[in-house]
């Protein structure tokens, strides 16, 4: 449900394409956030007590409602982010896939399972289960305002938690609609998903509200601030931050397929994708041929706000300056612009930019650009490509294009990345069973897959004593001789191997 308590102020959301206001939303302050968390807590126990199959059915009803409103939801996403309607619809489709997977798999992933006991606890029956945490706070970004938060929201709900969602102040309407659809589809558990809207201060209030975990998606700088706020209450924290994803292209790769995927991975959503393509390392033999194919394809694309535009405006106006700084800086440091250049930034759009020969210490290679810009640098061989790809302070996604899937997988296994696609880009994002997340400046923790369900659960270990042990080692009454026998037995067993 949406927080309907009177709020002190409202804020406006503007269309990134035209700058005109599209909606107003209340600014939730600490009191409104606190009320939302309390209300969520009051309904969570009833949700957690349901058999897993009932929770699954409720979540599938919500999924059905989302599917029924696909066009309306995509419409709000497109209006708030500026992305083309087709891209917004694809975002909803991917979200539905994830919600369905989380709903259908939570029961088996989290249910109690027996584990072996070891020799000294043979008299015990040991098991492990995953209990809900309680109330999960989710702070979302604007670039995929439905898909990205759902990686936490859907999985946390499926694991038996309540959720308070703070969407980005650029895209609050998507979050509001998500909670409204939940209430309409699952009225008997109204309040289980609440959306609180507002700027950074609302997120800060959520981080300090005493939620049982906070799942954050956004930039590494903000992650640090939110983590600090969480530290005060030892609130567990999960950080999904940015990336500087690399693609490696080997000499025997299908260059047409690679170019096609690279162009999409770098330019779709105006490059505003955490796991989008930003760096390409192509072995020298095929570097020129790959660049030619990429430039040919990227050069045919014009950003715009028509329904058939390949990508739209930059959603966050401040990002335009970052993109311009990276492109200008790279060229000043000796990079060659094969397509576009500093002049490609014409607010609110950025035309495709393809750079080569970019020094590895240029901001365009070290910082997240988050725009439709790619650097394609030549490397001597695969070893150099791997070393350069791994030299980043980010480690989120990556891709390898290679003549053989098996050889590509061997290269992929050497990459410091939370997820790697071989012979595609972002292939992992459409597979709900695969966990997603990074390390280094890309954050920590995982969403999606069984790891994602467990990220919003607490492991509970249990032993049930089946019979009295022959040697009661955990009793003051155990005779010294029996204890010594046990030690002798352990020593002889563990010395063998």
Q: CA 237 to CA 226: how far, in whole Å?
A: 9
- Residue of the chain from 84, 137, 218, 432 that contacts ligand NAD (CB under 6 A): 218
240 is annotated as an active-site residue: yes
Q: CA 267 to CA 166: how far, in whole Å?
A: 28
Confirm or reject binding of residue 28 to ligand NAD (CB under 6 A). no
DSSP secondary structure, 261-308, as one string: HHHHHHHGGGG--TT-EEEEEEEHHHHHHHHHHHHHHHTT----SSTT
Question: CB-wise, 117 or 222, nearer to ligand NAD?
Answer: 222
Confirm or reject binding of residue 237 to ligand NAD (CB under 6 A). no
Q: Output the CA angle 330-335-341, nearest 5 degrees.
A: 70
Where does this chain touch ligand NAD (CB under 6 A) — which range of 47-55, 174-182, 214-222, 421-429?
A: 214-222
Q: Whole-number minimum distance, CB 281 to ligand NAD, in Å? A: 21
Confirm or reject binding of residue 143 to ligand NAD (CB under 6 A). yes
**Which is nearest to 218 in space by CA: 133, 277, 144, 317?**
144
- With a CB cutoff of 8 Å and minimum separation 6, the contacts of 74 are 85, 88, 89, 91, 92
Q: CA 181 to CA 177: how far, in whole Å?
A: 6
- Residue of the chain from 222, 305, 390, 424 that contacts ligand NAD (CB under 6 A): 222
Site for ligand NAD in 374-433 (CB under 6 A): 396
CA 419 to chain centre: 11
Q: Whole-number minimum distance, CB 168 to ligand NAD, in Å? A: 4
Confirm or reject binding of residue 439 to ligand NAD (CB under 6 A). no
Strand-pairing partners, residue 129, are 460
Q: Whole-number minimum distance, CB 166 to ligand NAD, in Å? A: 6
Question: CB-wise, 47 or 394, nearer to ligand NAD?
Answer: 394
Confirm or reject binding of residue 367 to ligand NAD (CB under 6 A). no
Burial (Cβ within 10 Å: 0-12, 13-18, ≥19) of residue 328: middle
Confirm or reject binding of residue 168 to ligand NAD (CB under 6 A). yes
**Which is nearest to 376 in space by CA: 282, 306, 444?**
282
Q: Tell me if residue 245 falls in helix, strand or coil.
A: strand
- Residue of the chain from 29, 30, 75, 199 that contacts ligand NAD (CB under 6 A): 199
Q: Could you say which of 240, 367, 368, 450 is catalytic?
A: 240
Where does this chain touch ligand NAD (CB under 6 A) — which range of 240-248, 350-358, 381-389, 488-496?
A: 240-248
- With a CB cutoff of 8 Å and minimum separation 6, the contacts of 268 are 87, 276, 310, 311
Question: CB-wise, 130 or 142, nearer to ligand NAD?
Answer: 142
Question: CB-wise, 176 or 316, nearer to ligand NAD?
Answer: 316
Confirm or reject binding of residue 204 to ligand NAD (CB under 6 A). yes
Confirm or reject binding of residue 145 to ligand NAD (CB under 6 A). no
DSSP state, residue 213: E
Q: Tell me if residue 413 falls in helix, strand or coil.
A: coil
Encoding tokens for residue 379?
């490397």
Confirm or reject binding of residue 30 to ligand NAD (CB under 6 A). no
Q: Whole-number minimum distance, CB 368 to ligand NAD, in Å? A: 5
Confirm or reject binding of residue 456 to ligand NAD (CB under 6 A). no
Where does this chain touch ligand NAD (CB under 6 A) — which range of 155-163, 241-249, 296-304, 426-434?
A: 241-249
Q: Whole-number minimum distance, CB 32 to ligand NAD, in Å? A: 15
Tokens 């600490």 found at: 30
Site for ligand NAD in 314-333 (CB under 6 A): 316
Encoding tokens for residue 488?
């002798």
Q: Which residue is nearest to ligand NAD (CB)?
A: 203
Neighbours of 335 (CB within 10 A): 21
Q: Whole-number minimum distance, CB 140 to ligand NAD, in Å? A: 6
Confirm or reject binding of residue 245 to ligand NAD (CB under 6 A). no
Buried b / exposed e along 424-441 (16+ C-beta atoms within 10 A)? bbbbbbebbebbbbbebb
Encoding tokens for residue 219?
């930039």
Q: CA 293 to CA 431: how far, in whole Å?
A: 29
Tokens 């087709």 found at: 86
Q: Whole-number minimum distance, CB 102 to ligand NAD, in Å? A: 16
Q: Whole-number minimum distance, CB 155 to ligand NAD, in Å? A: 13
Residue pair 165/211 in contact (Cβ under 8 Å)? The answer is: no
Phi, psi at 177, each rounded to 5°: -65, -40
Question: CB-wise, 10 or 462, nearer to ligand NAD?
Answer: 10
Where does this chain touch ligand NAD (CB under 6 A) — which range of 34-42, 135-143, 153-161, 329-337?
A: 135-143
Confirm or reject binding of residue 79 to ligand NAD (CB under 6 A). no
Confirm or reject binding of residue 169 to ligand NAD (CB under 6 A). yes
- Residue of the chain from 44, 217, 392, 421 that contacts ligand NAD (CB under 6 A): 217
Confirm or reject binding of residue 141 to ligand NAD (CB under 6 A). yes
Q: CA 199 to CA 214: how far, in whole Å?
A: 17
Catalytic residues: 240
Residues within the interface to ligand NAD (CB under 6 A): 139-144, 148, 166, 168-169, 199-200, 203-204, 207, 217-219, 222, 225-226, 240-243, 274, 316, 368, 370, 396
């Amino acid at each position: 449900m949406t927080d309907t308590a009177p709020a002190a102020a409202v804020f406006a959301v503007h269309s990134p394409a035209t700058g005109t206001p599209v909606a107003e939303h209340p600014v939730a302050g600490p009191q409104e956030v606190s009320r939302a968390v309390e209300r969520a807590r009051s309904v969570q126990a009833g949700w957690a007590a349901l058999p897993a199959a009932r929770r699954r059915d409720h979540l599938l009803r919500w999924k059905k409602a989302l599917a029924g409103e696909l066009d309306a939801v995509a419409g709000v996403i497109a209006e708030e982010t500026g992305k083309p309607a087709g891209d917004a619809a694809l975002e909803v489709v991917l979200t539905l896939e994830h919600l369905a997977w989380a709903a259908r798999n939570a029961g088996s992933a989290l249910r109690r399972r027996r584990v072996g006991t070891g020799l000294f606890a043979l008299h015990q029956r040991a098991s492990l289960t995953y209990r809900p945490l309680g109330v999960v706070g989710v702070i979302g970004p604007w670039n995929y305002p439905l898909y990205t938060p759902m990686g936490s929201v859907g999985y946390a709900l499926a694991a038996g938690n309540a959720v308070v969602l703070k969407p980005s102040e650029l895209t609050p309407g998507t979050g509001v609609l998500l909670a409204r659809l939940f209430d309409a589809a699952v009225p008997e558990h109204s309040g289980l998903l609440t959306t609180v809207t507002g700027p950074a201060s609302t997120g800060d209030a959520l981080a300090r509200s005493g939620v049982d975990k906070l799942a954050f998606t956004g930039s590494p700088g903000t992650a640090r601030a939110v983590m600090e706020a969480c530290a005060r209450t030892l609130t567990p924290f999960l950080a999904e931050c940015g990336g500087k994803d690399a693609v490696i292209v080997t000499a025997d790769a299908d260059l047409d397929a690679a170019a096609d995927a690279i162009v999409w991975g770098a330019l779709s959503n105006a490059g505003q994708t955490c796991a989008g393509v930003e760096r390409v390392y192509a072995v020298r033999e095929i570097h020129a041929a790959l660049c030619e194919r990429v430039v040919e394809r990227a050069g045919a694309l014009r950003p715009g706000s028509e329904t058939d535009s390949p990508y739209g405006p930059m959603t966050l106006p401040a990002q335009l300056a970052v993109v311009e700084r990276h492109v200008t800086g790279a060229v000043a440091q000796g990079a060659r612009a094969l397509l576009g250049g500093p002049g490609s930034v014409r607010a609110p759009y950025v035309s495709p930019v393809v750079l080569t020969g970019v020094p590895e210490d240029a901001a365009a290679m070290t910082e997240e650009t988050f725009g439709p810009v790619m650097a394609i640098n030549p490397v001597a061989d695969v070893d150099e490509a791997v070393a350069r790809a791994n030299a980043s302070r980010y480690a989120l996604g990556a891709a390898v294009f290679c003549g053989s899937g098996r050889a590509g997988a061997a290269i992929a296994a050497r990459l410091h990345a939370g997820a790697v696609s071989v012979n595609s880009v972002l292939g992992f994002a459409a597979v709900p069973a695969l966990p997603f997340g990074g390390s280094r400046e890309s954050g920590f923790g995982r969403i999606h897959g069984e790891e994602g369900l467990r990220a919003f659960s607490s492991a509970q270990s249990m032993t049930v004593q089946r019979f009295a042990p022959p040697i009661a080692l955990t009793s003051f009454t155990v005779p010294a001789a029996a204890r010594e026998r046990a030690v002798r037995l352990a020593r002889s067993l563990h010395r063998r191997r």
